[in-house]
Amino acid sequence: MQMKEVRKYVRKCEKCGQKLLKNGVECGKQRWRCLSCGTARICKRKDVTKRNQENTYKNHLLRKETANDVAKRRGVSRRTFSRRYASYVTLNDEDEASSKTIFAAYHPYLIIDATNLNCEVVAIVRGQKYVLTWAFSMYESSSLWEVTLYRFNKPGGFVSDGQKGVLKALYNLWGEDIILQRCHFHIKQNIRAKLTNNPESEAGQDLKWLMGFLSHVNDEYQMAIFVGIFYFYYDTHYSFLGERTYSSSPLSRRKWFYTHRRVRSAYRQIADLLEKDQLFAYITHPELNLPRTTNGIEGGINARLSELLRAHRGMTPQRQRQIVNVFLTSKKS
């Protein structure tokens, strides 16, 4: 209906109402002439103008170019640029459209991760190639992930950093029999934080040495060697990890605690991941072709979002959400 109105407006003379005929091109735009009164004019397509201004503003958000530079290149002032261009991009249109999508297709795996913005958190779900959906919240929690993931049919597996809210949401939606691959990068970070870069105990030194080979485990044979060495170290240092220190303070709530709590926690974390088959799920389930890290989101999406938000720092929280929406929409296909 809109196109018919534009065509009717273009092809009629404003003075005499007679039909206009094409009369060449001027400055890249169609020129029209009335044979009755001789009037010649150029008609602007409002829909094309709106689309061009919207694309200009979206390209500005997806690049590090400042608004002053874009306004100067377009030949307008900074305030005119904000008023004329930014108004064409709504704040939550992509977010609302994404939140209503039902993902009925089967996905071999989903990579799920969240990144912190200045005032809120965005939870992102990525498939094998593209971003599928995302959601905003004030903080990362199980309710946020349930709202983000409930529209999916149960996929083959998941790849996650192991945040407690993510695990709780997955268990609530699909039970505890899901296939989950924990990100190796985050695991190594957690172990390093517990052992430090220079562990003093022999148990810590052995586990730190073994974790250096985690990223080189590519098949079942190498996995068996890794698991065998780990449990050998675990049994060797079992008495050391079980040592206790008793509190002499009458105000203490606990009478004793483990002397080497951080080293013990590191060993128990690896043992728990092996027991739940979350450390080498990419080997035990080769049919899913699971990645071993969340780099599909961390590297190509979260890192780029951080760069864009820093380049456009000073924007309001609503405009920052607009950047996230426009960027993630560009990664959907």
Q: Give the pLDDT confidence of 168-189 residue by residue, as tens digits.
A: 999 999 988 899 999 999 999 9
Residues of the chain with pLDDT under 50: 1-9, 93-94, 97
Spatial contact of 238 and 252, defined as CB atoms under 8 Å apart: no
Structure tokens at 120: 């809120």
The shares of helix, strand and coil residues in the chain, as percent rounded to the nearest 5, are 50, 15, 35
| pLDDT given for residue 134 in this prediction | 92
Q: How many domains does the chain contain in total?
A: 4
Helix axes 184-195, 202-211, angle to 10 degrees: 160
pLDDT digits (tens, 9 = 90+) for 112-149: 999 888 788 999 999 988 999 999 999 889 999 999 99
| pLDDT given for residue 14 in this prediction | 67
Say yes or no: 322 and 174 in one domain.
yes
Residue 29's domain comprises 1-44
Place of tokens 């996905």: 107
Structure tokens at 220: 């079942």
| pLDDT given for residue 72 in this prediction | 87
Which are the contacts of 35, defined by CB distance < 8 A and separation ≥ 6?
Answer: 18, 21
Say yes or no: 220 and 309 in one domain.
no
Say yes or no: 210 and 251 in one domain.
yes
Residue 289 resides in a domain? no
**pTM of the complete model:** 0.78
Q: Is 297 exposed, middle or buried (0-12, 13-18, 19+ CB in 10 A)?
A: buried
Say yes or no: 189 and 229 in one domain.
yes
In this structure, how many other beta carbons lie within 10 angstroms of the beta carbon of residue 134? 24
Say yes or no: 198 and 272 in one domain.
yes
Cα separation of 204 and 198, whole Å?
9
Residue 290 resides in a domain? no
Phi then psi for residue 38, to 5 deg, are 80, 10
Give exposure, 49-84, as e/b (b: 16+ Cβ within 10 Å). eeeebbebbbebbeeeeebeebbeeeeeeeeebeeb
| pLDDT given for residue 3 in this prediction | 43
| pLDDT given for residue 313 in this prediction | 84
Helix axes 46-61, 2-10, angle to 10 degrees: 120
